[in-house]
Amino acid sequence: MELQAAIRGRRSIRKFRTDPVPRAVLEELLETARWAPSWGNTQPWEIHVITGEPLEAFRRANVAGMAAAEPLRTDVPMPETWPEKLKARYMGVGRSVVTSLGLTREDKEGRRRHQLNMGAVFGAPCLLIVTVPREVLVEYAMLDVGLFLQTLALAAHDRGLGTCIMASSVHYADHLRRHGQIPEERRIIMGAALGYPETEAPVNRFERQRAAVADFVRWVG
């Protein structure tokens, strides 16, 4: 696949097939992703690949925490406010998702099911959790983790797989530590659901929006 096609074609997948991803394929993706750039070539990431029964146990725990509206227990604070322009984009994609699922504003039970399905990482057969050492400056680590996940997502798309980078997968760090065997000295940054996409599902096909170049570029000189 051409690089431009991969960049433009990659999208967040919110409905996965149940087929497991072979270990050899996962290793190939990680072999590619390890070439992601990082600050000073520090490569601070460590990836915990969770599949099978450990993933099912995590799903149950994560969904239970969300259903009970438990307070978040993240290693990295979640944003509480957004600038209005960014909030509008966030709300816009949320509307696109629920519309593609056929949910109305009044369908509170349907929306709740969607939220809990998010907690179950959309049924993906694989969850990758990215961690960094606790002593690493988190602002730099977040940049490096983003670069790693982008590289992984593009490599996965190139192989016919889909990903969804999900803050909801790291809401309860204690569940991840238990079921993903993540030690306390590692700071949990972000998770990515990975698997084969249900390509015909409307939630995987709605039109995506991106800001125009003129909206975010300032030319100097």
User: What's the burial of 129, exposed, middle or buried (CB within 10 Å: 0-12/13-18/19+)?
Assistant: buried
Residue 1 pLDDT > 90, yes or no?
Answer: no
What integer is the mean pLDDT of 25-54?
A: 97
Q: Is 114 domain-assigned?
A: no
Q: Is 93 domain-assigned?
A: no
Percent of the chain with pLDDT over 90: 96
Query: What pLDDT, on a 0 to 100 scale, did the predictor assign at position 140?
Result: 87
Query: What pLDDT, on a 0 to 100 scale, did the predictor assign at position 160?
Result: 97
Closest CA to 73 of 5, 165, 175, 141: 175
Percent of the chain with pLDDT over 70: 100
What integer is the mean pLDDT of 119-145?
A: 95
Query: What pLDDT, on a 0 to 100 scale, did the predictor assign at position 182?
Result: 98
**Total number of domains in the chain:** 1
Closest CA to 164 of 204, 192, 126, 145: 192
Alpha-carbon distance of 195 to 14, in angstroms, equals 10
Q: What is the pLDDT of residues 135-161, one digit of tens each?
A: 998 888 999 999 999 999 999 999 999
Residue 58 pLDDT > 90, yes or no?
Answer: yes
Residues 6+ apart with CB under 8 A from 173: 73, 74, 75, 188
Q: Is 220 domain-assigned?
A: no
What integer is the mean pLDDT of 23-27?
A: 98
Q: Is 42 domain-assigned?
A: yes
Residue 173 pLDDT > 90, yes or no?
Answer: yes
Q: What is the pLDDT of residues 76-103, one digit of tens each?
A: 999 889 999 999 999 999 999 999 999 9
The CATH number linked to 17 is: 3.40.109.10
Closest CA to 165 of 155, 152, 175: 152
Query: What pLDDT, on a 0 to 100 scale, did the predictor assign at position 137?
Result: 87
Domain around 18: 3-78+119-207
